[in-house]
Structure 1
């Protein structure tokens, strides 16, 4: 579609103010919107929280016809549906969970929808293509577009079937959106979806409001309870097994007195749905979950994401931590890891198809590099996605409290030698005992007290054996055996021959609480007006049966509390107060402000 006077950017900014309550675009939003209004196809790679959904919702309001949004999860569609309708956008979903599908189809055929959300499984059906032919289309928007690529970390085969659907409507522009795609994935996504090379809009990956911290795991309940105390507000705790999820939910609730609920595929569907709904509606609840949770949640006020164990890859870590602080307020991402996490992950490489094994191994090595670095965490993350960041970000654990690094090549040779001389079949605990000369019956029974490596480590070096063993396992120089022992792998032989040196980060003697600047309350809790506005928001959300953030974000309430508007015109100038919300809620909030 060619641009016209009604589809220029000044008109787009007027629509942005009137519909969404924003005075201007953020980041690369304007570029994406301008391309879309001009009928050009694009792949927009934008960080979570940068407003990806606005880049198709605003054109959907301006363009003639319906924007078809392909989204991977029903929960995500319904969440975005609530937000779109709250802004006065004519939107509907067509999913297996919707009872009103006939009304939705009739509304589409009648040209009464701005947005129609569907799943890729439905989009790939020939009958759906025929259905779309019954009305005018404005745009195809493909959310979580990295799912189309086999190189992506969340590959979904049904996304591969979208190209034939879109090719049947050659005059309709395509807008693919993702927050997580490295260079190889971006090229593949564009090829699979038929987006020209010049259509790439790369907005960058930095989430400056998130403070990253990665620590060895010692007592995860205590570690996460400390994080919860620092970060009041909603949080997500990711664990790798269902049993661990339930255990963490129970123990964290007991330790903190906060509401903590579990979420995993083994729970009854109604329990999962109830726990998710409680979390979405809450302003302070924590949910313990497997990694499937969160992809379908567009909750902007999550104040922290914690990982108990390592994620699948740097891409997965970036996406999962990106669920924190989507409203732009300060948030935290904490990972608590152990050597066994990498041992398990490397053992699973044997189960991966051979043609993907090298790529998966490279992903795991990149993750180990992030965990093991003594430098800036954010810089490692951003370099992984092809950016050239500064050497220090000032908002990660290593930048705020620079760790010491020590050269441990000789100690590494002793440890690896002990692994080899004991037959490459014992765990790190046994190896430590051998090296430190422990008086242990099991060691004597096996004759390990007569080995040349028995008792050759003492003093400060003995304290470094555990972090060194953890580091060597993360890097793949020690790999797990079938029966739970350790064997030489990776560059172990180069280390033993002196061809490679080893450095590790010296672990802190105690976990330090983060200092100043990112933990703080972004919200002026204790300000009577702000607290009253939040209470009013809760009441209105309950009346409308939507989560509080659908009414207004905290940042909007903060601006109200600071500027204290006294007229509807002044209220309409508050960021985030669009025309529909002003009409629906403006008078109630003005009344509350006048009482203070």
Structure 2
């Protein structure tokens, strides 16, 4: 059977993703390869499908002991013979796996790096056709998740010289890729680096004040959806999990301090959709092939962009829209800097932390910045991050960019960001004078721009892919091909105007629409999810192992009525067609027959809700507050509710007095409160705002004055 037939039969796809087919062809030719593909980009396919076409066994080295069973179960659900061998198994289970190996009844065998030595004397060189090193960044000290056990893997190539070796990771910059190949003794290996762009992920960053209230409001938009919340410490995982649980969310904590059996239980329940949210340290999520994670929240800032990218990549693996929300604060940076200082390779780790902070503070498209970090460049802004949805003002900065890039060029690309700024500003400190860079033509060419503004402009140039940081070369700045176009081809550059602190604080993010696409029959989709859950429970599988959300949405959109039509659905392979096809067709056929009348079927019965007569009146204050929590601006709420913005401000003030769970910083500063406060006695006496309005000659609207009165009444001063 050829590769395209196998792709359809076992995985349900009609075509390969970008690079997969070329990689598979090279694997079948026994070539050694270095493959970098983003999480959810199809790395596993690059060795799983060839294993079906090669003689012998594919040995998959993975650090993810807790997940090997799920990976093997998923393969078996696709009709592929697979097993695993690690320290979590009892002796009889290991012997059973060795017997299957001896009888040539396995196509893939997953093994932890610590357990390989126990396998070696059971394997002949001819038994192994392919070696796949998954999460290969773990072998490199340049990588973000170094694992000492990985450093011994070079002997695999020597022990099985006829087998091809493929190293795979989701995140590795140039220095890390070179180190991986060197460590695995495959320096000659061809590199395949797939696009890191995940356009279905909405990227958003918020300041870390009042995080719990923000998380609670965010989660209300994702009722009954799966998500991960990453925390910096074990204590914060448990504290946040307990708080969210008390608020009625389906949530559990996961970290290395918990008993193994408890962690395993949390993971299994999450995979099976029995727990919707996991509050976790970075120990959770590696290798989880759960396709329907709809959001990832970073409760604290990650230590580097590689880790951040890998963690957000666990959302939206089915290609459907998902949301990545990051909170950051100065306290996070201090704590992470302390961690980095105590680690090996501390200078590199601190530099990568600084790059992560720059991402959080970015004024330009976050996706362009993220991709440029991995040496991939977008020509246009993405339109799907919080910066793009709330664009700052831009100005023509071509001359500024040319000065900076020219200085980098004349300094032979041997300067850090700080030294570059000192040279541009004509500083005469010891570092500049010792370097001799005061003699270059662009020395002092940017005296008219402040040090802080130069820093912001250069960071934006890095974010736009005009410069890159060589972490393995003392963090020196390097020119990219895009920079050369600016220097020598007069390509224009636009940079964001650096906002004032109060303007930055007032930026609002656009609410994200979470509705299903209009062409999807929502009742049918709900029924399909219910049926999938029933099947998964009966067969002790994770629901996505039956069919992914993307497959269910394709079914709900196209409504297949025959086996042939069902086989055309994305994600339906021959094995799953034979196993589940008729069960799901019963549902779609029943839906189609009854579309003109009430939709009633055996899995989910829907009845129209009866309208309550003379029910309680709506809480007008809470209607405004809930829209505000959902991210709407005052103007948007005013338009939606057909009320004046002053009235909306009054509603927010009332809520603040009673619960103190709305953030009013953007609408009234501490200075304004101090100016208004002396007139509070006048208001209390006359119970009227008109005297205050006239006193300030209309400087403050009635809404702002009312808001100030509520704040003063609550004896609170906004900071």
Question: Shared fold (TM-score greater than 0.5)?
Answer: yes
> Is 1:379 matched with 2:368?
yes
**Structure 1 pair 510/227, CA: closer, same or farther in 2 (3 Å)?**
farther
The answer to whether the Cα contact below 8 Å between 1:330 and 1:520 also exists between their aligned partners in 2 is: no
Provide the residue aligned with 1:529 in structure 2: 524
Question: Which residue among 177, 197, 218 is the counterpart of 2:209?
Answer: 218
Greater CA drift, 387-396 or 505-514: 505-514
1:304 is paired with a residue whose SS is strand
The answer to whether the Cα contact below 8 Å between 1:93 and 1:117 also exists between their aligned partners in 2 is: yes
Provide the residue aligned with 1:593 in structure 2: 588
Question: Which residue among 162, 182, 202 is the counterpart of 1:171?
Answer: 162
> Is 1:91 matched with 2:82?
yes
Provide the residue aligned with 2:510 in structure 1: 514
1:303 is paired with a residue whose SS is strand
Provide the residue aligned with 1:399 in structure 2: 388
Q: Deviations over 1:74-114 (max 9, x none)?
A: 12222211110000000001112234211111111111101
1:294 is paired with a residue whose SS is coil
Provide the residue aligned with 1:245 in structure 2: 237
> Is 1:137 matched with 2:128?
yes
**Aligned-partner Cα distance in 2 for 1:26–1:163:** 30
Greater CA drift, 196-205 or 235-244: 196-205
Instruction: Give 1:69 shift.
Output: 0.5
Greater CA drift, 49-58 or 129-138: 129-138
Larger radius of gyration: 2
Alignment of 1:157-196 (within 5 A): 157-196=148-187
**Structure 1 pair 249/403, CA: closer, same or farther in 2 (3 Å)?**
farther
2:359 is paired with a residue whose SS is helix
**Structure 1 pair 135/113, CA: closer, same or farther in 2 (3 Å)?**
farther
Question: Which residue among 188, 192, 197 is the counterpart of 1:206?
Answer: 197
**Aligned-partner Cα distance in 1 for 2:59–2:39:** 21
**Structure 1 pair 524/546, CA: closer, same or farther in 2 (3 Å)?**
farther
2:72 is paired with a residue whose SS is helix
Provide the residue aligned with 1:36 in structure 2: 27
Instruction: Give 1:569 shift.
Output: 2.6
> Is 1:579 matched with 2:574?
yes
2:381 is paired with a residue whose SS is coil
**Aligned-partner Cα distance in 2 for 1:67–1:583:** 26
The answer to whether the Cα contact below 8 Å between 2:390 and 2:508 also exists between their aligned partners in 1 is: no
Provide the residue aligned with 2:100 in structure 1: 107
The answer to whether the Cα contact below 8 Å between 1:129 and 1:165 also exists between their aligned partners in 2 is: no
Instruction: Give 1:326 shift.
Output: 1.1
Alignment of 1:99-498 (within 5 A): 99=90, 100-123=93-116, 125=117, 127-133=118-124, 136-197=127-188, 199-232=190-223, 233-255=225-247, 257-282=248-273, 285-353=276-344, 356-403=345-392
**Aligned-partner Cα distance in 2 for 1:224–1:359:** 32
Instruction: Give 1:128 shift.
Output: 2.4
For structure 2, the 5+ residue unaligned runs are 396-452, 460-496, 592-719
Q: Deviations over 1:523-551 (max 9, x none)?
A: 98872221111111111100110110000
For structure 1, the 5+ residue unaligned runs are 1-5, 407-467, 475-500
Q: Deviations over 1:177-231 (max 9, x none)?
A: 1110001001111121233445101112111111111111111111112221233
Compute the TM-score of the two structures, normalised by the length of structure 1: 0.78
Compute the TM-score of the two structures, normalised by the length of structure 2: 0.65
1:335 is paired with a residue whose SS is strand
The answer to whether the Cα contact below 8 Å between 1:140 and 1:172 also exists between their aligned partners in 2 is: yes
1:214 is paired with a residue whose SS is strand
1:132 is paired with a residue whose SS is coil
Count of residues paired in the alignment: 493
**Structure 1 pair 339/280, CA: closer, same or farther in 2 (3 Å)?**
same
Provide the residue aligned with 1:567 in structure 2: 562
**Aligned-partner Cα distance in 2 for 1:141–1:506:** 52
The answer to whether the Cα contact below 8 Å between 2:72 and 2:82 also exists between their aligned partners in 1 is: yes
Q: Deviations over 1:30-54 (max 9, x none)?
A: 1111111111111110111111111
Provide the residue aligned with 1:556 in structure 2: 551
Instruction: Give 1:520 shift.
Output: 4.0
Q: Deviations over 1:43-70 (max 9, x none)?
A: 1101111111111110011111110100
Provide the residue aligned with 2:534 in structure 1: 539
Instruction: Give 1:391 shift.
Output: 4.5
**Structure 1 pair 85/505, CA: closer, same or farther in 2 (3 Å)?**
farther
Instruction: Give 1:21 shift.
Output: 1.1
**Structure 1 pair 175/506, CA: closer, same or farther in 2 (3 Å)?**
farther
Instruction: Give 1:139 shift.
Output: 0.6
The answer to whether the Cα contact below 8 Å between 2:293 and 2:314 also exists between their aligned partners in 1 is: yes
The answer to whether the Cα contact below 8 Å between 1:404 and 1:506 also exists between their aligned partners in 2 is: no
The answer to whether the Cα contact below 8 Å between 1:405 and 1:503 also exists between their aligned partners in 2 is: no
Greater CA drift, 341-350 or 105-114: 341-350
**Aligned-partner Cα distance in 1 for 2:566–2:498:** 61
**Structure 1 pair 522/298, CA: closer, same or farther in 2 (3 Å)?**
farther
The answer to whether the Cα contact below 8 Å between 2:129 and 2:162 also exists between their aligned partners in 1 is: no
The answer to whether the Cα contact below 8 Å between 2:298 and 2:325 also exists between their aligned partners in 1 is: yes
1:75 is paired with a residue whose SS is helix
> Is 1:19 matched with 2:18?
no
**Aligned-partner Cα distance in 2 for 1:295–1:210:** 18
Instruction: Give 1:510 shift.
Output: 5.6
The answer to whether the Cα contact below 8 Å between 1:236 and 1:289 also exists between their aligned partners in 2 is: yes
**Aligned-partner Cα distance in 2 for 1:404–1:227:** 28
The answer to whether the Cα contact below 8 Å between 1:94 and 1:101 also exists between their aligned partners in 2 is: yes
**Aligned-partner Cα distance in 1 for 2:196–2:146:** 20
**Structure 1 pair 296/30, CA: closer, same or farther in 2 (3 Å)?**
closer
1:62 is paired with a residue whose SS is coil
**Structure 1 pair 158/509, CA: closer, same or farther in 2 (3 Å)?**
closer
